[in-house]
Amino acid sequence: MTTSAGLPAVRESLHLALLADPAGSTAVVELSEAAIEHYALGYSKHPPHLLFTEVHAARGLLLQALTSTTPTPDRIENELRRCVGWLSALLGNLAHHLGDHAGARVHLATATTYGDRSGDSRLTGWAWGAQAMVARAAGRHIQALAHADRGLACAPAGLPRAQLHAWAQLPSLAALNRQREADAALAAAMRELEADPAGWAPGRFGYDIAEHQLHEADADRALGRTEKAVAIAETSTNACIAGTPGWAAAALLVAQAEAPSQPADATQRALDVLARVPAARLRSTSRSRLTQLDAVLSPTRATGVDELHDRVRALPPIIDAHGTAAPA
């Protein structure tokens, strides 16, 4: 169930399981893993602030089990710690998409710690990759590359390493105009994917073809390969459902690449995103693209530029000064 009712229902089921086994059990671990999968696969189907609330509540339930005075078998305790780590990873990613980058760093550092403690190398690697994403958003590309390297040092082969190469490494290498290394990172990602029998995996902790193409197109744009960037970003757009966060990111990337030579087309594409995606579902990453695009287009006389400028300025904050989320 991916309706809004499905989120509290999952948390309530986890609560019921913990009422039966307050210190945790094999059943509680299995239910926790199922909850994490539910949150991960439904990540893009809910406004980030709603999903953050539910994931936070689920993590709180597991923390009660870990701090219970009732003895817990070591194996169960370790598995609960691993689940707390994955829930912390989700919280970090959600905080980033809500524009709370300081909070994202805290949650992702927690995920890294729990990945190390529980021996889950994929969790540790993914959390370092997410920290690279947060550093990159702040323009700290050297730090982002250091985080990516730490993730690659522990991530297992196949899709997890491919994701780190193309998601954590590639964008910062391209932003620093290190073309040869950027191309090598992309090639390494493809080798890892081709060697992985599972191929592309769905969900927030997976890595689908549309996301891969988004990062490749973004790197091409940063490296000045505009025509290639537009073509790949359009392919990414077509691989997404219209109105979803991934679609919005890819559509705005096309607009950014088009803006210097086709400002009218770029403007209409951005206005289409604003018409289809409610403010509450517009992630901080897409808002940043819109702001950058508006700055590039504002000096032009292209049709719709003034409307776009007004629409971008009128966007309500994701979370306002009183802690209230943007309306859905």
pLDDT tens-digit readout, 142-172 = 999 999 999 999 999 999 999 999 999 999 9
Contacts (Cβ under 8 Å, ≥6 apart) of 22: 64, 65, 68, 70
Whole-model pTM: value is 0.95
pLDDT tens-digit readout, 174-217 = 999 999 999 999 999 999 999 998 878 887 888 899 999 999 99
Residue whose structure tokens are 């994955």: 86
Number of Cβ within 10 Å of residue 53's Cβ equals 17
Minimum mean pLDDT range among 125-129, 271-275, 323-327: 323-327
Contact 263, 300 (CB under 8 A): yes
What's the Cα-to-Cα distance from 18 to each of 28, 56, 94, 104, 283, rounded to whole Å? Answer: 7, 16, 25, 28, 33
Angle between helices 305-314 and 263-276 (to 10 degrees): 40
Note the pLDDT of residue 323: 87
Note the pLDDT of residue 203: 79
Q: What is the mean pLDDT of the chain?
A: 95
pLDDT tens-digit readout, 236-258 = 999 999 999 999 999 999 999 99
Note the pLDDT of residue 169: 98
**Residue 285: burial class (beta carbons within 10 Å; 0-12, 13-18, 19+):** middle
* For residue 1, pLDDT beyond 60: no
Q: What is the DSSP letter of 277?
A: S
pLDDT tens-digit readout, 209-231 = 999 999 999 999 999 999 999 99
| d(C-alpha 221, C-alpha 157), whole Å | 28
Task: Give 328's pLDDT tier (boundaries 50, 70, 90).
Answer: low
pLDDT tens-digit readout, 267-289 = 999 999 999 999 989 999 999 99
Q: What is the DSSP letter of 207?
A: B
Number of Cβ within 10 Å of residue 255's Cβ equals 28
| d(C-alpha 200, C-alpha 5), whole Å | 29
Tokens of 1: 């169930």
